[in-house]
């Protein structure tokens, strides 16, 4: 049985995740994490699973609005779709 309290999005990035991860170390900003996965999973009840080098699935029980907004502001994406 599915838990309908969780929201799920599929995100396709413009650049490979490996390139995105570099922003957490190379920008001079102290993000407090070293990767996109760590940043996303710092939100309570939120998980990121990579499907390919540019596509991920993100699930969240409480924070999807904040995660999605952060992605839209900080990361170049090709598509964000609700699943």
- Segment 35-80, tens digit of pLDDT: 999 999 999 999 999 999 999 999 999 999 999 999 999 999 999 9
**Quick one: pLDDT at residue 78?**
97
**Quick one: pLDDT at residue 5?**
86
Q: How confident is the model at residue 23 (pLDDT cuts 50, 70, 90)?
A: confident
User: How far does Cα 51 stand from its chain's mean position?
Assistant: 12
pTM for the model stands at: 0.88
Determine which helix (DSSP H) or strand (DSSP E) holds 20, and give its type and residue range: helix 17-26
What is the CB neighbour count within 10 angstroms for residue 48?
A: 20
**Quick one: pLDDT at residue 2?**
57
């Amino acid at each position: 049985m599915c838990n309908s309290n969780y929201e799920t999005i599929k995100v396709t990035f413009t650049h490979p995740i490996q390139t995105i991860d570099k922003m957490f170390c190379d920008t001079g900003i102290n993000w407090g994490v070293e990767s996109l996965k760590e940043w996303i999973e710092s939100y309570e009840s939120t998980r990121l699973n990579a499907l390919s080098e540019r596509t991920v699935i993100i699930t969240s029980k409480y924070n999807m609005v904040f995660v999605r907004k952060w992605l839209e502001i900080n990361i170049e994406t090709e598509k964000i779709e609700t699943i």
